Amino acid sequence: MTTTLSASTGKPASGSIGDETAIHDLGYRRYDGARIGASGAWRALYWQGFRSMFGFGRTAKAKILPAFVLLATLLPALGVLAAASASQGGLAIRYGPLIQAQLILFALFIAAQAPELISRDQQHRILPLILTREVTRTSYASARLAALVSAQFLIALAPLLLLYIGEIGVANDPSAAFEKMGSRIWPVLAQASLVSIALGGIGAALASWTSRRAYATASIIGSLLVATAIATGLDDLAGVSARTSEFIDPIRTMRTMAFILFDEKTRSMELDPPASVWLYAGVLLSLGVAGAGVLHLRLRRLVP
């Protein structure tokens, strides 16, 4: 409510508003405008989180890692495209090996950024400020997870999309190429989604357990390394088939799935054919869902 002391000029009310002489009270004012409720709050949480995944809204240093990961995944793709165009479309473009190299970078991205999204809120103790607003624990968890997963999706999609479009573009006959591999877009999308869901779930779950970002990052990388170690151990020492042991190691699961999706094979896959792609997809999806579950559970228990 602004109270305005004003002197009437005695003129009729046809004068413009600026005519009166007045001292305005600039004190506190009420807000009687629109309120969009929980959905607006969710969007605000999501967008702030999504932007901070790429370092926006934070210091310049925060932009370094995302930029590095993007570059490190895009450049090889560009390189492959350059080679393919030099050979006039004769050299087949293989997605599998490229993705295999990228997965490590994606793990790095998640390990670095999931804590920024989830541990940092705990460290700076802003949860009481958020949870007393139009944000429930569940919607907070889902907004943060969505930001993490969609950021990772973008990063995973970019090089693949580049390859896909580039492959069509460098071919001698683009329209024929498009007909031949138009349907390749689905593997591209599937690969990107499943990778981001799985890694996002793992990252979010582990980050929610500690408020110290360094510990969270270490635990994410550590868990993936331990998984690799176990899978390798089973492989080499226990003589378990590679096809079985790779389900222990999410990175390997994603790698094999990539090869299957793009109809490519590694030597070990030729010797020991993998199961249906749906199994791999199912495993990765479950990982993501389990991670989301852990995140929700952890946030429910937290007393800010």
Partner 1 sequence: MGANGAGKSTLVKILLGLVEPSSGSATLLGHDVVRDRAGIRQLVGYMPEHDCLPPDMSATEFVTWLARCSGLPAGASRERAAEVLRHVGLFEERYRPMGGYSTGMAQRVKLAQALVHDPRLLILDEPTNGLDPAGRDEMLALIQRTGTEFGMSVLVSSHLLGELERICDGFVLIDNGRLVRAERLGALTEETATLVVEVDGDAAIFATQLVALGVTAQSERHRVLVQLPAGGDDIALRLTYDAVRDTAVAQHVGVLKIERRRGHLEDLFQ
Site of interaction with partner 1 (CB under 8 A) = 1, 26-31, 33-38, 40-41, 43-45, 48, 57-59, 62, 120, 124-126, 128-136, 303-304
What are 269's strand-pairing partners? none
The DSSP-derived string for 102-168 is HHHHHHHHHHHHHHHHHHHHHHTT-HHHHHTSS--HHHHHHHHHHHHHHHHHHHHHHHHHHHHHHHH
Residue with Cβ nearer partner 1 (85 or 136): 136
The Cα–Cα gap between 171 and 93 comes to 11
Residue with Cβ nearer partner 1 (10 or 37): 37
Residue with Cβ nearer partner 1 (139 or 191): 139
Provide, rounded to whole angstroms, the least separation between the CB of residue 145 and partner 1.
17
**SS3 letters across 47-85:** HHHHHHHCCCCCCHHHHHHHHHHHHHHHHHHHHHHHHHH
Cβ partners under 8 Å of residue 278, min gap 6: none
Residue with Cβ nearer partner 1 (7 or 34): 34
Rounding to the nearest 10 degrees, give the CA dihedral for residues 131, 132, 134, 137. Answer: 20
Provide, rounded to whole angstroms, the least separation between the CB of residue 128 and partner 1.
5
Provide, rounded to whole angstroms, the least separation between the CB of residue 32 and partner 1.
8
Provide, rounded to whole angstroms, the least separation between the CB of residue 112 and partner 1.
16
Provide, rounded to whole angstroms, the least separation between the CB of residue 284 and partner 1.
32
Residue with Cβ nearer partner 1 (58 or 212): 58
Task: List the structure tokens of 296.
Answer: 């929700």
Provide, rounded to whole angstroms, the least separation between the CB of residue 206 and partner 1.
21
Provide, rounded to whole angstroms, the least separation between the CB of residue 208 and partner 1.
17
- What is the distance, to the nearest Å, from the Cα of residue 289 to the centroid of all Cα atoms in its chain? 15
Residue of 89, 113, 148, 140 lying closest to 302 (CA atoms): 140
Residue with Cβ nearer partner 1 (140 or 153): 140
Residue with Cβ nearer partner 1 (140 or 164): 140
At 4, give phi and psi (nearest 5°).
-120, 120
